[in-house]
Amino acid sequence: MTRKIGFVGMGIMGQPMAQNLLNKGNKVMVYNRTREKTDSLAQAGALVASTPAELANWSDVLIMMLTGPDAIDNMLFGATGILAAENPAHIIINMSTVSPAYTKYLNIALEEETIILIDAPVSGSKKPAEEGLLVVLASGPEEKVTELDPLFMALGKKVVYCGEAGLGSCMKMTINLLLSIMMEGLCEALNLGERCGLPAETILDTVLSGPLGCGLFNLKEPMLKSNDYPPQFPLKHMAKDLRFVMQTADEIGAATPLGHALFQLYRQGLGRDLGDMDFAAVKKVLDGMNDT
């Protein structure tokens, strides 16, 4: 039986993900706060809901790909929100990046409505989302995650089952801490080399030619060479995620000394109006900290 999949959040990630679900022959209905962002999906054959409640009534399974807790609360608990539906989808998959603590709260809130939460954030950015090559970090009841495997495989190349709801978000915290460190590490090294008088192109070519070359650095190379940072993963989202990482580390007593420093550094990016640029623009933060 073909499932009716509802998708809320037509941002950088949500649009290509919903498109991939359509491409695989699924019935898809979408909703976005800013309606114009649903236009391309509508042209591709998706239905468009006028309210989150309408989306929830129509759907068997509902996916959320939203900025974070405020957006999710708004879409769930608002006057025309998902939980205002008479007969809402009985499975909600949250693929947005949120903290494990928020996920646990969400799990309890949805359980009270007899809705099953699947906590399934993703590793991978705009390009893997477009190419259907995300890695899905799924948690929640294992039999439900297994049942949803065809849906996840329309979005990604791999599903990692992490355990009970909350552990998917824990995996996402783990991945994004590493991501923040790797990106800043490349930018800090580049900054040093440039201040020594080496051209950025030569430094990047050297890094990418040796054992340090990796998918992330290859992906960001054009941005760093051109010093232009169109958003794939916006810096404001990395700052948000590092806040959740710090909160999680504090709750469980994990040592994250670099994470603390990087939280401050990425936040400086917000103060410098770099939030809507890609998070590789942390290079601009470092440039601004150099002695003049």
CB of 108 to ligand NAP, least distance (A): 20
Residues of the shown chain interacting with ligand NAP in the complex, contacts defined by CB under 6 A: 9-14, 32-34, 37, 65-68, 70-71, 74-75, 96-97, 122, 125-126, 232-233, 237, 241
The type of residue at 93 is I
CB of 205 to ligand NAP, least distance (A): 25
Comparison of 82 and 285: residue with beta carbon closer to ligand NAP: 82
Comparison of 126 and 283: residue with beta carbon closer to ligand NAP: 126
Residue nearest to ligand NAP (CB): 11
CB of 10 to ligand NAP, least distance (A): 5
Distance, in Å, from the CA atom of 194 to the CA atom of 287, rounded to the nearest integer, reads: 10
CB of 286 to ligand NAP, least distance (A): 21
What would the two tokens of residue 93 be? 């998959």
In DSSP notation, 34-67 reads SGGGGHHHHHTT-EE-SSHHHHHHH-SEEEE--S
The rounded Cα 88 to chain-centroid distance in angstroms is: 24
The one catalytic residue among 126, 172, 240, 283: 172
Comparison of 117 and 203: residue with beta carbon closer to ligand NAP: 117
Angle CA(241)–CA(247)–CA(248) in degrees, nearest 5? Answer: 90
Active site residue 24: no
Letter string b/e over residues 72-101, b meaning 16 or more CB atoms within 10 A of that residue's CB: bbebbeeeebbbbbeebbebbbbbbbbbbe
Comparison of 26 and 99: residue with beta carbon closer to ligand NAP: 99
The rounded Cα 191 to chain-centroid distance in angstroms is: 27
- Residue numbers annotated as active site: 172
